[in-house]
Structures are given as C-alpha cells and as structure tokens.
Amino acid sequence: MRGARPLQLVILLYEQGIDDLRRALAALQRGDIETRTRQINHALVVIGHLQASLDMEQGAQVARNLQRFYHLLRDSLVTAHGKQSVTILQEGIADLMSLREAWIEVERSANPSTEFPLERVPAQAAISEDPAPPSKWNA
C-alpha cells in the first residue's frame, strides 16, 4: 500500500492473517486439504513478516511479548494443520483479531485524522470460498 504508515501496514498484515485462517477453517470444514494447507502456509508467512518487523531494542517488553506470541501462534498453526483442529484455527483467528483491534487503537491514537479504513471486522465475517491463488499473494 503506497503511502501507508507502518502501523497501517501492520494492521493490513493482521487482516491478511485473519483472512488466511478463515479460508483455512472453511477448507478444513469442507475437507479441502490443498486449500487448507495453502492458507495455513500463507498465514505462517504473514506471521513471519510480523515477527521480522519487530524492533527488539525500541519495542522493549512489548516486542518481546509479541515475539513470544508470534512464536506460539506459528506453533499452534502447525499443530492445527497436523491435527486438523477447528478449535485451534478459531483460537488463532480470535487472537489475531484481538491484537488487530489493539493496533487499530494505537493507530487512532497516533493519527486521529487517519483516512485508513479501520472498521471492525465481525467475528463471523463471511469466508471467501474462492481464495486467491499463491501467485496473487502480496505478503
């Protein structure tokens, strides 16, 4: 996103991760192993980007906590994939949504006049049945 502030990019990565996990969950529920695998793998890439963007020096304890969270989330997604766990995927979605909301509040505090669309994503938002192929991924 051209001209986006760093916080906006973080929020967009969270949204992508949430979308990926929703698609993985839908694929799991319909028995589509290929799509489930592709979506979980992409979510892992997105989380890796979030993890790599942490500034451990300036971020101090917050960065360390996020580092731990991302590590645990990546581990849980690998477990969810192996066990085909709806519950673990749902928990991952909920966790990412909670942190996304926190980052939105940080962005609003830092830039009250932001024009970035920071609407809340409903917990049960529609899941796309036709996810973008890997060649269209931008994360």
Residue 110 has what pLDDT? 86
Number of H helices, E strands in the chain: 4, 0
Q: CB of 78 within 8 A of CB of 92?
A: no
Q: Based on the structure, what is the number of domains in the chain?
A: 1
pTM assigned to the model: 0.79
Q: Does a structural domain hold residue 71?
A: yes
Supply the angle between the helices 56-83 and 33-52 in degrees, to the nearest 10: 170
Q: Does a structural domain hold residue 128?
A: no
Residue 59 has what pLDDT? 87
Q: Does a structural domain hold residue 79?
A: yes
Residue 16 has what pLDDT? 97
Residue 125 has what pLDDT? 43
Residue 123 has what pLDDT? 41
Q: For residue 22, give both structure tokens.
A: 């929703």
Residue 132 has what pLDDT? 46
Domain carrying residue 43: 6-108
Angstrom distance (rounded) from CA 55 to CA 61 = 11
Give the torsion sign (CA, 91, 94, 98, 100).
Answer: positive
Q: Does a structural domain hold residue 133?
A: no
CATH code of 54's domain:
1.20.120.340
Q: Does a structural domain hold residue 118?
A: no
Summarize the chain as % helix, strand, coil (round to 5).
Answer: 75, 0, 25
**pLDDT tens, residue order, the chain (139 aa):** 555 688 899 999 999 999 999 999 999 999 999 999 999 999 999 999 999 999 999 989 999 999 999 999 999 999 999 999 999 999 999 999 999 999 999 988 888 776 555 444 444 443 443 444 444 444 4
Q: In sequence order, what DSSP letters do the residues of 64-92 get, joined into one string?
A: HHHHHHHHHHHHHHHHHHHHT-HHHHHHH
Q: Does a structural domain hold residue 50?
A: yes
